[in-house]
Homo-oligomer: A and B are copies of this chain.
Amino acid sequence: MVGIKDVAKQAGVSIGTVSNVVNRPHVVAVATRNRVLSVIEELGYVRDESARQLRAGRSRIMGLLVLDLGNPFFVDVARGAEQAAHAEGLNIVTCNSGQRSDLEASYLAMFAEQRVRGVLLSPVATSGEALRAFRRSGTPYVFVDRKAPTSEASSVAVDDLAGGALAARHLLETGHHRIAFVNGPAILAQCRDREQGVRTALAGSAAELTVLDSIGLDVSSGLDAGARLLGMSPRPTAVFCANDLLALGVLQAMVGAGVRVPDEMAIVGYDDIEFAGAAAVPLTSVRQPARRLGRTAAELLLAETADTTVEHRAVVFTPELVVRESTRVRR
Contact = CB atoms under 8 A, between A and B. Distances in A.
Interface string A61-82: 1000000011010011011001
A219 interface: yes
Given A50-B53, A277-B252, A75 B69 contact: yes
A26 interface: no
Given A48-B54, A49-B114, A78 B72 contact: no
Contacts of A200: none
Contact of A91 (B61, B95, B281): B95
A75 B245 CA distance: 15
Contacts of A281: 280
Interface size range on A against B: 35 or more
Interface in A71-105: 72, 75-76, 78-79, 82, 91-96
A113 B49 contact: yes
A44 B125 CA distance: 21
Interface in A251-284: 251-252, 274-275, 277-282
A48 B115 contact: yes
A17 B200 CA distance: 58
Nearest to A220: B274
Given A49-B115, A91-B110, A248 B278 contact: yes
A31 interface: no
A136 interface: yes
